[in-house]
Structure formats: structure tokens, C-alpha cells
Amino acid sequence: MIKLEIDGKRIFPLFVAITKSINNAVGDIQFEMAGVQPSIKVNSIVKATVDGEPMVLCRVEQKTATGSESGLVSAFYGREITCDLIDSVVPDAAKVFKTGVTLETMAEKITQSLGMYTKIINKAGKIEPFSFREKTEADTGQTALDFLTQYARKRGVFINSDGNGNLVFFRLENAPLVKKELKGTIESSAKIDYSQRFNRYIVKSQSDIRDDWGTRGSVSIFGEAIDEDIVKSRVFEFQAEETMTKDECKSRAEEEANIRRARSLSYSATVFKHGYKIGEVVDVNDKGLEVKGSFLIEEIVYTQTESNMSCELKLTWPDAYTLQAEIDAKTARKVNLGKYK
């Protein structure tokens, strides 16, 4: 069940939908109330829990009212309060960091400089500091979340929120595996698209590179990754976001290959009840669409009306958000689309 509070007061909406995604550090909410609702204003604080667990802490950003023969309805929309990191540029006081800075320190400095009361929660385990090879400096006009995400990707870390207005660093391979069976499906859809996948990924470092003695050079540094499911004639080459070592280029290539692999699969299902979370793995047995296997929940939309509730799940490969694809042959055979057995 979804429970909503506005500025600390419980409300009972006609309709509410909450979206949470691994790919978006900021969740959002939309809800509708009968009448004009003058007590709910833009900038009102919305706290939402799902089955008793904090899900989003938002500010109302949009308010509209509509009248019809059936009466007046007010509609509201808001994003989590961490959306300031999406909209605001990196402040001058937090644009440049010294060698050896950690991702946690960078995030703390930026949020403090923006005047945000946001805690940084590290669930990713040990995150290596950034060395002298890595330019830890924000570009002019670069937004705070874009800057933090840029450096988080270099360490295989993802950023999300905890439902209480705090930032969470995580790696899915470090998270405890929660596996459930997908039950009560209302509707589902499936699609595979290989048009943006390649056999060979080549990542080249930025030309400004220093050796172990700190001397600049222009050595050609690159790394590669292979996607064996794709024909060899398809090759993708791009330049790394920053100066990288050969091993870092290889890791970046592997990450790009796996992200594109994840995006090539689209399976979604709407179920009657809540009880699912992003990052969990569900067993799918969809005879109608010929889909069978274990899939990772990538995005969830929790929906509730006065009479019922539902949960729309977007699913992908179970290893889609590890730095490198790790599905072994046995597991891969259990993930079938169009080959139901």
C-alpha cells in the first residue's frame, strides 16, 4: 500500500503513481485529489512509503486543477528533493578537487556547497580514490549529478536515493540477491533490439596522459571488449570521458558493451500487487510471450487508486549493471525470449 503525507499530514489521493529506476538517481511522484486543494502548494513536501518503507521524499513542482461535469480534480507532480543535483551546476567552491579525493568527499562537498541537507550513504563497498592521472575538475556549466555520475562510472558505481532525501552509492554485485517469483501478471510485453549492439568495443583514452613520473605524453592508450552474440563486422569506437590507463579503458569498454546489451532487451510486466523493488531478481514464466528466465528489476512504477493497486516492472538481464557481463552458459540458457520450453 502507498501512504502519502503532505507537510507531515496524511492525505488520501484518488490516484498516485511513484516511479523509481536504477538509471535515474531521482524518483518522482504524481497524484490526484478531489477539489481544488488550496492547502497543497508548490514546494509542499511529499513523503511516500510503499508497504511501510520510505520510497520518495519530494517537493511539489507542478499543480494543476481541472473542472468537468464530474467535479474538480487537482493534479500534482514532484521529483525527489535530490533533483537539485540534476538542475544545478557544480558551484565554484566545489569545482576542483585535489589528487586522492574520494567519490564520497566529492559528493559531500558539492551537496554542502549547494546548501543541501543530504547524507551520502555508501553501499558500494570500498571505492578507490582518484589518482593524479584523473582530472577531478568540473567543466563550466556542468550539472552536479552529471559530474558525480561521470566519476562514479569510472569506479563501476551507481547513484540512487534512499527515499529519505539522501544519496546512495551502490554496486548491484555487492547487494544481497533477493529472488522472487513474478505472480499475478495483468499484462506484459517483450522486445529484443540488437541495432545498437556491436561485436567489438574500442575505447581510447584522452590524449593528455601522464606517466608514473608525472610527465605528459601523447601515447595511444586504448582498451577493448567483445560481445560474442554480435557479428564480427560490427565495430564501435569512442573516446573515454577522461584520461585513462589501459586497464581503465578496458573496463570502460566492458561497461559500454554491457549497458548496450542491457538496453537491447525490453520486457515489462504489470502485476496486481506491490512488494517488488529495483535491483531484485524475479523468475518469469510467460508462456504467452514465450519468455522464461530470471530477470533484474530495472524500473518500477507503483500505482494506486481508491479501489486497486498495481506495479509495473521493467526487466532486463540479471547481470546488466555489473561492470562486466557475468552470465555463465548455464544461466544464459535459462533466459529465453521466443524459445519458451
Q: Are residues 320 and 185 in the same domain?
A: yes
Q: Are residues 165 and 61 in the same domain?
A: no
Q: Are residues 250 and 296 in the same domain?
A: no
C-alpha cell at 310: 498495481
Q: Are residues 6 and 62 in the same domain?
A: yes
Asked whether the predicted pLDDT for residue 339 surpasses 50, the reply is no
* pTM assigned to the model: 0.82
How many structural domains are present in the chain? 4
Q: Are residues 210 and 329 in the same domain?
A: no
Q: Which amino acid is located at 270 in the chain?
A: T
Q: Are residues 212 and 246 in the same domain?
A: yes
Q: Are residues 269 and 333 in the same domain?
A: yes
Residues 282 and 294: beta-carbon distance below 8 Å: yes
Domain final position from 27, 54, 83: 83
* H runs (alpha helix) in the chain: 84-87, 103-113, 144-154, 246-263, 329-333
* H runs (alpha helix) in 114-194: 144-154
Residues 18 and 2: beta-carbon distance below 8 Å: yes
Residue with cell 532525501: 165
- d(CA 228, CA 234) in angstroms, rounded, equals 11
pLDDT at position 322: 67
Q: Are residues 257 and 271 in the same domain?
A: no
Residue with cell 464530474: 70
Q: Are residues 145 and 244 in the same domain?
A: no
- The rounded percent of the chain whose pLDDT value lies above 70 is 89
Q: Are residues 189 and 286 in the same domain?
A: yes
- Mean pLDDT, the chain, rounded, equals 87
Residue 137: domain span: 88-170
Domain final position from 262, 282, 300: 262
Q: Domain of 123: which CATH number?
A: 3.55.50.10
Residues 244 and 311: beta-carbon distance below 8 Å: no
Residues 304 and 16: beta-carbon distance below 8 Å: yes
What is the arithmetic mean of pLDDT over 108-128?
94
Q: Are residues 211 and 233 in the same domain?
A: yes
Q: Domain of 317: which CATH number?
A: 2.40.30
Q: Are residues 304 and 187 in the same domain?
A: yes
- d(CA 141, CA 91) in angstroms, rounded, equals 9
88 HSE (CA, 13 A, CB side): 17
Q: List, for residues 225-266, the tens digit of each pLDDT value.
A: 999 999 999 999 988 867 778 888 898 898 889 888 878 888
Q: pLDDT: is 107 or 217 the higher one? A: 107
pLDDT at position 175: 63
